[in-house]
Chain A
Amino acid sequence: MPIRSFQTKLLYLLVAVLVLLQAATLIAVHVAGERTVRNTAAAELRVGSRLFDRILAGRGRQLSDTVRVLASDFAFREAIASGDRPTITSVLTNHGSRISADAAFLISLDGTVVADTLGDRLTGRAFPLPALVREAETRGESSGIATLDERPYQLVVVPVLAPRPIAWVCMGFAIDERALDEVRRLTGLDVSLWNAATRAPLLISTLPQQERGELGMRAKALAPRGRDLDETLEIGDVHYQALTHPLQTADNSRIHTLLQRSIEEAGRPYRHLELQIFALSTLALILALIASVFFARGVSRPLEELAEGAQRIERGDYATAIDIRQADEIGRLAKAFNRMRTGIADREEHIRYQATHDSLTGLPNRTLFHDRLSEAIEKARQSGESVAIIIMDLNRFKEINDTLGHQFGDELLFEIGHRLTGTLRDSDTVSRLGGDEFAVTVFVREGSLATDVAQKIGDVVEAPFTLAGVSIDVTASMGIALYPQHATDAETLMKRADVAMYEAKKNHADFAVYEPGRDEHSLRRLAILSELRHSIARDELVLHYQPKIDVVTERIAHAEALVRWRHPVHGLLGPDEFIPLAEQSGNIAVITKWVLRRAIADCGKWNADGHGLTVAVNLSALDLFDVDLPTYIGGLLAEVGLSPSKLVLEITESAIMRDPAAALRVLRELKQRGVTLAIDDYGTGYSSLAHLKRLPVDELKIDKSFVLNLRRTSKDDLVIVRSTIELGHNMGLRVIAEGVENAEAWDILRDLGCDMAQGYYVSRPLPLADFGKWVEESPWGLGRVKSEV
């Protein structure tokens, strides 16, 4: 598609209009010029013809005067009066030559030629031009044109006075080239004279010899019609406008003048004019072109600039202003463009800021952090440095939020952001990834230094906060991943730092450095998540049971049902690996119900066998929101015919804390139905004693993290476990310790008065069949009891 610019279009239009106008002008001038030339030439010819007549008439008068003066010469008169013919002839010759007459006659008063200078040819005969004599009689003189010897003559007749007329004297003057030359000199016209009556018609002419010959041959064709006649002639290559004009003659001889004017010559001023007009037109065209180019540029260049400016804005380049300083509409448009540009730039900057920054803390958000991390990686790649990424998640932030309010939580987050920024260098990036999750990139000389940074961050974060009059301690879990050791791209690096962070959280550590291979685990989680939904239908879930031993009787009292997923690919998976996923994906209720149904069924069987065991089932936090759960459980118990007292439901402290009011409602209903309730993982949450007191629970399970390393020498754990047992007993609760792995721990617990204990020291969780066997055969079992019974 041919794109024609505004400028080109304007040029084409201008050129077309100008060329058309000028061509029309030139044609009009040419046509008018041609007509004018011919008209002018014709008019010139008429003027020339009249002038020729005038010249002849004037010459006639002049000759008359001359002849009259001559005729009044006394001696001349005396000679004439002598009557002696030879004397008269000689005086005619003599005086005639004085005035250059070519012929002279003396005519008697009766019209007879008395003497002549043509060899007496006419002497004695009547004068052949009596009209001239008659005219001289009336007017005192006369002149006329006549042919003598086939030559045109101008003849003058005057009387000879003595003092009355005694005779007529006639003098003849040949009309020769000189007379014509005068006309030519005055008018620029070529004049020819010819007698139409004679065989060689052309008499005299001002034309050059060659053309004269040509015209002579043509003269016959120019048949004179006794009046003026316009003709066009072509002699040689020259075009002539011509006029034939009959002369008044005294002897009626058909003498004509032919005046001619070269058309080319007459048109020369017009040719010159046309040339001038053409030159002016061309000049005007060029000037107009130049002017229009300038004008069009004046219009189109700013337009192009505007278009470029708009394209720059389209590309997102807001820095370059459109530089048009004109006072006209285009200038105003450019100003509007510039205002629009800065407006868009401001808004986009704002939007970009919003898109890349966290509104609460003003820190870069996840998107910008990702970019910054990529940049840092690139920079480190060039400088050979290492980059550490530290992802930090606050511990128990949700609880802070819930108890102290969102406003407080927000202020806390803001303050943490502020502290982090203050702690780190400008080259490092602090970002809030979302929620209570922060991330930091740090350039480090070597990877091992990253832990120092993490330590520093930990110190900063864990320093007490005083906000709105409330003093609070915060702990955080940090995951560290290093470029280039752990990954070479931002995404993987972040994922691995995340993995490390969860690792730290799991281990209740301040921070953890990513260990290669860990995130395969998290990949597996994703796969599991998608398969979880089908696990029940495929009958892939199984229950293992771990015995809880009555510390006093040293016999099994309860069996805690622990769900396992017999995964077709990954093998047997523990609840840690899929229960959180089930909670996230909303499958937990199904799983819980399955576990309850199964555990109650198994327990019913055991009781039918007479073992009298109590089964314990873990409830998820989400299960506490299910108001129908107590009814469901009641249904199951009734179905199996199991006493509600044979069922213990274990609920973590944090699960209750999510929505204490709702949890309390469900727990109370369960309690009413006679189900035993236990607080699981006690000691990891922040539940206050006041809270605990209100809960309708029967048992307290000390979190295994306090029990695993329980030794007589580890003062801290010992204090916690002891005080917890005392607390539980004071509140009328049974206290259970889990994570008992050795005899020392067992003994300590027994000494501290713990009610029940479970752990690998007794038995790991066992499949149903093995568990049954264990119950039969283990010294902790009931086999002996049974055999005793």
Chain B
Amino acid sequence: MHRTLAALTIASLLGFTATATAATLTVSVHDPRGNTVADAVAYAIPEGKVVLPVRKAAAVMDQKNRMFVPHVLAIQTGTAVRFPNSDDIRHQVYSFSNAKTFQLPLYKGNPANPVVFDKAGVATLGCNIHDRMSAYIVVVDTPYVGTAGKDGRVTLNTLPAGRYTVRVWYPEMRAEPAPVAVTLGTNERNDLAFTTR
């Protein structure tokens, strides 16, 4: 988790320096009582025909101490996700979700092939032999996606100027908060706030 956060921080710093013209969007998610919602996912979908960059690097859903790490993994459609097993016991990985239905039979170490999530949606992961293990892989059709930490804030950097539809997802979501349309200018910084239903 820390490593991920560190990576994200580095990436955003890089974004700042590389494209000084890019806009920054900060999304915070609260529940109706004002509490921050951890592990919330925020993503911005550009309007119109835009060719979106595709991240070639595989994402990682690790299993440590009988937990999926991270708990929520947000990825762009078509991203391959590797499922290394860092525990010294075997794990099985399955998803019955429409976004991606798959099973990885009991294994140790790194499986040979990653799983490619080529359909937008949320895949709920479980381990067949450890009922308590669960994780979400949120697959969205945009590279501008981020996962909130405990502070419930997601900062999307390097967004090209333009119009975006900003949506959020969070675990145990019953109904999606209404998407927010936002127009971002160059170097514009914008803050959005979502309240869960």
Interface on chain B toward A: helix, strand, loop, or mixed SS?
strand
Asked if B86 CB lies within 8 Å of chain A CBs, one says no
Name the one of B95, B131, B172 contacting A161, with C-beta atoms under 8 angstroms: B131
Asked if B124 CB lies within 8 Å of chain A CBs, one says yes
Asked if B186 CB lies within 8 Å of chain A CBs, one says no
A162 B128 Cβ-Cβ under 8 A: no
Asked if A424 CB lies within 8 Å of chain B CBs, one says no
CA–CA, A163 and B94, complex, Å: 9
Q: Which residues of B contact A161 (CB under 8 A)?
A: 126, 131
Asked if A81 CB lies within 8 Å of chain B CBs, one says yes
User: In the complex, which of the residues B96, B133, B134 has the most CB atoms of chain A within 10 Å of its own CB atom?
Assistant: B96
Q: Which residues of A contact B94 (CB under 8 A)?
A: 74, 162
Q: Which of A386-441 contact B (CB under 8 A)?
A: none
Q: Which residues of B contact A356 (CB under 8 A)?
A: none
CA–CA, A166 and B96, complex, Å: 9
Q: Which of A67-110 contact B (CB under 8 A)?
A: 72, 74, 77-78, 81
Min CB distance A54 to B, Å, is 29
Interface size classification for chain A: 10 to 19
Q: Flag B106-117 by CB within 8 Å of A: 1 or 0 each.
A: 000000000000
Which B residue sits closest to A161, measured CB to CB? B131
Name the one of B126, B132, B172 contacting A162, with C-beta atoms under 8 angstroms: B126
Q: Which of B123-151 contact A (CB under 8 A)?
A: 124-128, 131-134
Q: Which residues of A contact B132 (CB under 8 A)?
A: 163
CA–CA, A156 and B57, complex, Å: 47
Q: Which residues of B contact A74 (CB under 8 A)?
A: 94, 128
Name the one of A78, A81, A163, A166 contacting B133, with C-beta atoms under 8 angstroms: A163
Q: Which of B172-189 contact A (CB under 8 A)?
A: 172
Q: Flag A133-169 by CB within 8 Å of B: 1 or 0 each.
A: 0000000000000000000000000000111101000
A164 B134 Cβ-Cβ under 8 A: yes
Which A residue sits closest to B136, measured CB to CB? A164
Which A residue sits closest to B92, measured CB to CB? A74
Tell whether A81 pairs with B131 under 8 Å between CB atoms, given A162-B124, A163-B126, A164-B124: no
CA–CA, A78 and B97, complex, Å: 11
Name the one of B96, B128, B134, B172 contacting A81, with C-beta atoms under 8 angstroms: B96
Q: Which residues of B contact A81 (CB under 8 A)?
A: 96, 101
Q: Which residues of B contact A163 (CB under 8 A)?
A: 124-127, 131-134
Q: Which of A146-201 contact B (CB under 8 A)?
A: 161-164, 166
CA–CA, A162 and B132, complex, Å: 10
Min CB distance B124 to A, Å, is 5
Which A residue sits closest to B134, measured CB to CB? A163
Q: Which residues of A contact B95 (CB under 8 A)?
A: 162
A162 B131 Cβ-Cβ under 8 A: no
Min CB distance A137 to B, Å, is 11
Which B residue sits closest to A72, measured CB to CB? B131
Q: Which residues of B contact A164 (CB under 8 A)?
A: 124, 126, 134, 172
Which A residue sits closest to B135, measured CB to CB? A163
Which A residue sits closest to B172, measured CB to CB? A164
Name the one of B96, B127, B172 contacting A77, with C-beta atoms under 8 angstroms: B96
CA–CA, A77 and B92, complex, Å: 15
Min CB distance B145 to A, Å, is 21
CA–CA, A72 and B97, complex, Å: 16
CA–CA, A72 and B129, complex, Å: 10
User: In the complex, which of the residues B128, B132, B172 has the most CB atoms of chain A within 10 Å of its own CB atom?
Assistant: B128
Q: Which residues of A contact B133 (CB under 8 A)?
A: 163
CA–CA, A515 and B14, complex, Å: 197
Min CB distance A495 to B, Å, is 150
CA–CA, A77 and B96, complex, Å: 9
CA–CA, A72 and B128, complex, Å: 9
Which B residue sits closest to A163, measured CB to CB? B126
CA–CA, A161 and B125, complex, Å: 11
CA–CA, A166 and B126, complex, Å: 12
Min CB distance B65 to A, Å, is 17
Q: Which residues of B contact A166 (CB under 8 A)?
A: 96, 124
Min CB distance B177 to A, Å, is 19
User: In the complex, which of the residues A72, A77, A161, A164 has the most CB atoms of chain B within 10 Å of its own CB atom?
Assistant: A164
CA–CA, A162 and B94, complex, Å: 8
Q: Flag A57-74 by CB within 8 Å of B: 1 or 0 each.
A: 000000000000000101
Min CB distance A77 to B, Å, is 7
Which B residue sits closest to A110, measured CB to CB? B174
Q: Which of A205-230 contact B (CB under 8 A)?
A: none
Q: Which residues of A contact B97 (CB under 8 A)?
A: 162
Which A residue sits closest to B125, measured CB to CB? A163
CA–CA, A560 and B134, complex, Å: 189
Which A residue sits closest to B130, measured CB to CB? A163
Q: Which residues of A contact B131 (CB under 8 A)?
A: 72, 161, 163
Q: Which residues of A contact B127 (CB under 8 A)?
A: 163
CA–CA, A77 and B101, complex, Å: 13
CA–CA, A163 and B172, complex, Å: 12
Min CB distance B159 to A, Å, is 31
A78 B96 Cβ-Cβ under 8 A: yes
Min CB distance B9 to A, Å, is 30
CA–CA, A81 and B132, complex, Å: 18
Q: Which of B50-76 contact A (CB under 8 A)?
A: none
Which A residue sits closest to B95, measured CB to CB? A162
Q: Which residues of A contact B124 (CB under 8 A)?
A: 162-164, 166
CA–CA, A164 and B131, complex, Å: 10
Min CB distance A121 to B, Å, is 27
Q: Which residues of A contact B128 (CB under 8 A)?
A: 74
Min CB distance B138 to A, Å, is 13
CA–CA, A163 and B131, complex, Å: 7
Q: Which residues of A contact B126 (CB under 8 A)?
A: 161-164
Q: Which of B76-110 contact A (CB under 8 A)?
A: 94-97, 101
CA–CA, A166 and B134, complex, Å: 13
CA–CA, A78 and B102, complex, Å: 11
CA–CA, A223 and B190, complex, Å: 70
Min CB distance A82 to B, Å, is 8
Which B residue sits closest to A83, measured CB to CB? B98
Which B residue sits closest to A78, measured CB to CB? B96
CA–CA, A400 and B18, complex, Å: 198
CA–CA, A74 and B127, complex, Å: 10
CA–CA, A753 and B97, complex, Å: 207
The 8 closest A-B CB pairs, nearest first, are A81-B96, A163-B126, A163-B134, A162-B96, A164-B124, A74-B128, A163-B131, A162-B126
Chain B interfacial positions (CB closer than 8 Å to A): 94-97, 101, 124-128, 131-134, 172
Q: A81-B101, A162-B94 are in contact. List 7 more A-B contacts (CB 8 A).
A: A161-B131, A162-B126, A163-B124, A163-B125, A163-B126, A163-B127, A164-B134
Some 19 contacts from A to B, beta carbons below 8 A apart, are A72-B131, A81-B101, A161-B126, A161-B131, A162-B95, A162-B96, A162-B97, A162-B124, A162-B126, A163-B124, A163-B125, A163-B126, A163-B127, A163-B131, A163-B133, A164-B124, A164-B134, A164-B172, A166-B124
